[in-house]
Chain A
Amino acid sequence: MNSLLLADLQKILIVGMILLTVISVSRRNLISLINMYSFQSFILSLVILLIFFEDKKIILLYIALLTIISKCSFIPILLKRTQKSMKIHVDLEYNLFGPTTSIFISLLIFGMLFFLFLGIKEQLGANSLNYISIIFGMSMLFIGMLIIIARKKIITKIIGYLMMENGVVLLSIFIGDLPLLIEILILIDLLVLLAITSVLGFGMNSSVENFHVKLNPFRKWFKRVSEE
């Protein structure tokens, strides 16, 4: 395949990833949020596979396979099970910014990163594709953070965190060689996080505010114990 065409294809895929992140800032249906995350991970694995066809490094193939197995199938299934146990389907509440404001803030984040990094583009020694992926990875990181800040339901926050992690992978794939070990460690991290949050999600009825109510008996108990 033509290398220019390949680079263009990669650019489109990366933009698709960031687009999915931006849409999930304002999306309300939880199932479609989870589907969007798994689709985003699928695009990420496609990007990695395209780099593999160019560079022929076998480690990239492993990372792509790992992404497909864990992030496209395993984590979404777990998330859907958690969502089922929570008995909620939509996340309507926002903390600080409304949905449209959040999209414009993410546009602001992207623009700021773009112009900040333009100054050190030469030092990075990056061609345009590398530069795009660095910027987009960084902005996916921050937009994921925006999701965590702006949304109220715990399951949406988890999805924000997972999208942040996708941004990290995108960033590290293009900026240098990512050892397979670290990738596996990150994945284990994600799975543990998911397990913990689903355990918590059962208990706290899916919103952080309710958590305090649930913890209140513990506080009383602790107070009593310490007084005695």
Chain B
Amino acid sequence: MNNFLLFAVVNLTLVLFLSPLYISVIKKVKAIIQGRRGPSIIQSYRNIFKLLKKESLYSHNSSFIMRVAPYIDFTGSLLLSLFVPLVFIPNNSNVFGNIILFLYILMLGKFVIALSGLDAGSTFGGMGSSREMSLSAIIEPTIIVVFAAVVFSFDSINFFEIIKSSLLSQNHIFLWLLLIPFIIIFITESSRIPVDNPETHLELTMIHEAMILEQSGKNLALIEWSSAIKQLLLIGIIVNIFIPIGISTSMNILALSIAVIIFFVKSLLFAIGIGIFESNIAKLRFFRIPNLFAISYFLSFITILIEVLL
């Protein structure tokens, strides 16, 4: 149990304090490519800090859902951070690390936020919730098939074991095919550019931003922090499954600090890559997004067939 406690402390600290960084890193990379100076690297920390000091305002029409939704979402994200080993793999646990539970908790947060978008009765919130829910309904089969491909190829349903076996055996080159579906899932879940634009508040294009338009103050800070945490966790899954170098399995302080540094470099490179990718691509029309999902479905289906049956 001591082992797991250390894992929990390390993961929670990393996730809480590192997650807002990646949002501003991606913004900075995009700004540099567009020839601007861009916001400072710590701007997202400042935003969250500023919002935490402000009071939350509620619409007269809103019910208790509006008040509890950010807390449920944030707690869900904190719980999720115990599922994905970022720098340290603890002993196996039956509850934590289960992929299916992970996906359901991920959906829970989305569901609650969508409800709170509907709750205030404003047109924008309802529109955003309906868009977000239809998108997540479309991507759900793809997510399941992609994670099923991972489960089949590593023969385990636990993130701890999957990353451990990925660390021990280097012969998973064929699995690199899953990188494209994973990146498509990452883009959709963290509402980034080909699917949704996180920077705009334009009626026509916003999806995630429309849902949280009614939120303010502490609640908004919690929601933004929680989406940053989810983004970091998805980065952690992708980076640690495909490049498992440097993850520590022992409770040694030296190995742990090296692992933190290596994870930091890996995930930062991934974020920079996402920034470059985003600035090279235009936002897709809403009705062409299923195409993208169909392609990632195709790839993961192929991977399952070949990994399992051959």
Contacts and interface: CB of A to CB of B under 8 A. Distances in A.
A68 B299 CA distance: 26
B146 to A, nearest CB: 14
B177 A15 contact: yes
A107 B173 contact: no
B168 interface: no
Interface string B190-229: 0000000000000000000000000000000000000000
Contact of A100 (B174, B291, B301): B291
B291 A8 contact: no
A131 B310 CA distance: 9
A18 interface: yes
Interface string B167-188: 0000101101100100000000
A131 B299 CA distance: 18
Contacts, number: 54
A198 interface: no
A64 B45 CA distance: 54
B18 to A, nearest CB: 32
A128 interface: yes
Nearest to B310: A128
A196 interface: no
Interface in A129-176: 131-132
Contact of A11 (B174, B180, B291, B297): B174
B310 A110 contact: no
Interface string A92-107: 0000000110011011
B121 interface: no
A80 to B, nearest CB: 22
Given A12-B177, A114-B305, A132-B310, A4 B171 contact: yes
A103 B174 contact: no
Given A111-B305, A128-B310, A132-B306, A8 B294 contact: no
Nearest to A132: B306
Given A100-B290, A103-B294, A19 B299 contact: yes
Contacts of B309: 114, 118
A5 B176 CA distance: 13
A23 B295 contact: yes
Given A11-B174, A107-B301, A118-B309, 11 more contacts: A8-B171, A11-B306, A19-B299, A26-B291, A100-B291, A100-B294, A103-B298, A104-B294, A110-B298, A110-B301, A132-B306
Interface of B: 171, 173-174, 176-177, 180, 288, 290-291, 294-295, 297-299, 301-302, 305-306, 309-310
14 contacts: A5-B173, A8-B171, A9-B173, A12-B177, A15-B299, A18-B302, A22-B295, A99-B291, A103-B298, A107-B294, A107-B301, A111-B301, A128-B306, A132-B306
